[in-house]
Structure 1
Amino acid sequence: MKAYLKHTMLAGVAALALQTAAAQEQSVEERIAALEAMVAELKSELAAEKAQTDQDIVRIESVAKAEATDRPVTTTSGFMVGDTTFKLSGFIDVDAHATSFSDGQVGSNSIARDFYIPSATPIGGDEYSVTDLTAQASRFAVTAQKPVGDNQVTGYLELDFLGSAQGNELVSNSYSPRLRRAYVDYKGWRVGQEWSTFQNTSAIPESASFLALSDGMVFVRQAQIRYTNGNWQFALENPNTTSLNFGSVDDNLLPDVVGRYNFKGDFGNVSVAAIARQLRADFGTTEDEVFGYGLSVSGRVKVGEKDDIRFGLTGGEGLGRYIGLAASRATALDPNGDLEAIASYGGHVAWRHPFGDTARFNLGYSGLFVDNPDYLGGAVNKSVQSAYGAVLWDIAPKVTLGTELMYGVRELESGLEGDFTRLTFSTKYGF
């Protein structure tokens, strides 16, 4: 009996030992399986992160190409609110200007101290030099996209701080934002405030300052209704009649009409645009109107492997504010009380030459020439011209340093003229 009990106890202990070993073996296998699952999950997360990074690269390139070719911007990343995707973008821009005027000074609160406005070059005063530091060109933008069936609606809002009516340089430099662009895109339609369809934005030269070569350049942002179909663009844009001898009036009944065709290819892009304008003034007891028109050819053309030429050539009657930052006006009132459209023509050309890994050199010239009637006398602008050279280099991703030397001259019909020279250093971080 004792022997039987002994054998039974030994058998039980052996069975228990075998069960414990089996359980331990199963536990090890489960742990290995869990570790393998964790590794697989980490691999999946890394792959997803890489895919998101690739999407960001594609998005950045797409945005750059869209802005250069004036197409609607399409975002593929951002943050979701409901079924709408939002994206924030912009840049911080700090400029230091050392400016010398040959014939007078520009007020400290003038926007002409922040960037070149051809008609603001003083004439008839004493030589004056000044240094300014500003961050008002810094910019902020919000893009919103929402799917609508097989299409999508896109909204875009862009602000900066140039020309602020609020703020001064005494203590806080607290400048208010201003509206630059605000539009909605849907099925080829763009409605809102945007660059004029008469302007090819890819022709704007690269510069260290906010804007260079504006003398003979088409440069206007305004409210409009635009339709794009392939290479064709048509728009109705906000009208405004400016004059050399009775100010600016808003008596127009018809919008400015613009048509444009874009040539695109491996060579770059070239656009041909035409504009027709009703120029109208109502003086209460009398009113008059005249027809204005203009033609423009502009673009950015590749030269060699990396270089490009950016250019524009524009002319017409009654162009006024569309060219040269309103260095001339669209009309004049003749001695008989009739409106006359003012003829003007101008253009710009700039060469961009990359060198090294992250640097580039820019060189350019611009000019606007006005055919003023004799009855206006000698106090109106006959021409404005400028030339510049700029070197920019990226010291880190999206961080650009720049230096620029610009010279401009303004001439009146009387023969009097004034000039300015400006040296600029800039630091820009895009996001």
Structure 2
Amino acid sequence: MPFAREGDSAPTFMDAFFTATSAVTVTGLATVDTGTYWSMIGQIIILVLVEIGGIGIIALATILGLFVGGRLGLRTQMLAQVDMHVVSLGEVRPLFRRVTVTLVSFQAVTALILTIRYRLVYFDSLPEAVWHGVFDAVMAFNNAGFSLNSDSLTRYAGDVAVIIPISVAVFIGAVGFPVLAELYRGWRRPSRWTIHTRLTVWGSLMLFAIGSLAFLTIEWANPATLGNMPLVEKVVTAIEGGIMPRSGGLQSFDWNHVEAETQGIAVVMMFIGGGSASTAGGIKVTTFLLLAFVILAELRGDPEVQIGRRSVSGRTVRTAVSIALLAVMLVYGGTLLLMLMSGASYIEALFETTSAFGTTGLSTGLTPELNAPSQLVLIVLMFVGRVGTIAAASAFVLRRRQPRYHLPEEQPIIG
């Protein structure tokens, strides 16, 4: 609509379609400058779509039902149970109340910290500082990469009071609501955590540490990233570099100018993504670690996959393998299509398609230069990356059939 764009003319359909998809899938890839192309109304529409996409359609309907009607029907509870990966039906109501409190609390605290910093250092106008603080807080917690600044977070590069709160919000949003709910009940007793919470928490911390240390080591002398920064700013930017590829999408440096090794690590991080039932994308850290345990069990010759003092069912293993293979096919197929349609190089196309599928939003600057067919490829990847893997996982879990007979076994040659 004309009122959504800055100026008198209406936005082009493709820009509006791409932006709407990127917002509702909490990706953050953009074909136009969010701060100058869209009006205040357009920016508010983006913010609302990001909130809806971050919490999820079913979760949003459930929360509205709780606070408006005060109770939930059995059908709604069952849908919410599958959507949020809740084991017990009785946990649906308390979980969604905690989700609401978590959303409001973390975004409000982050917005307050950013607003104070923006007003003191970067903006003379309090309303402008408030709007930037609220917008960046919402984008950070929902792991969306939109920014009102044409250079994203570049003007705040190395600023502890800006980069760290945003990075913390991204990290917490990527953990997942079921994990946050369990940590709220018993964060002091890790021995009693469920396997899902253990994998998500320790896996997220491990990936963060590896990503940050790798970024710091590889980019230490690169003048386009960390080379000219003092030590504290280097550490702050390295923390950002370890968190944002997991689905954050905001950036205080140009990813087109990082070393090739850093781009390769970022592609892996974007593909893995965050926790299940979170605002992050990717195949999810639990899927990735479960596959690692599958390999470990095979190398050891164990008859079943064990994590801690628990075994994992064969159905869960097959679901993880299916999701990972589907993701590989989608990303690689999208990469080839992007190379054919736009003439982009392999690493540029791979980075952009992985960012779209992982709903990350990081870009080397290729997205605004793509033609309409190439943008459609990214639109499909963003939508499938946000909805497809969740739907596939739910379908695999819910589709349970008891076989009435067993066929004779045969061993094909493997490897």
Which bin holds the TM-score, normalised by the shorter protein?
Answer: under 0.3
User: Which structure has greater helix proportion?
Assistant: 2
For normalisation by structure 1, the TM-score amounts to 0.26
Q: Which has the larger radius of gyration?
A: 1
Choose between structure 1 and 2 for higher RCO, CA contacts under 8 A separated by at least 6 residues: 2
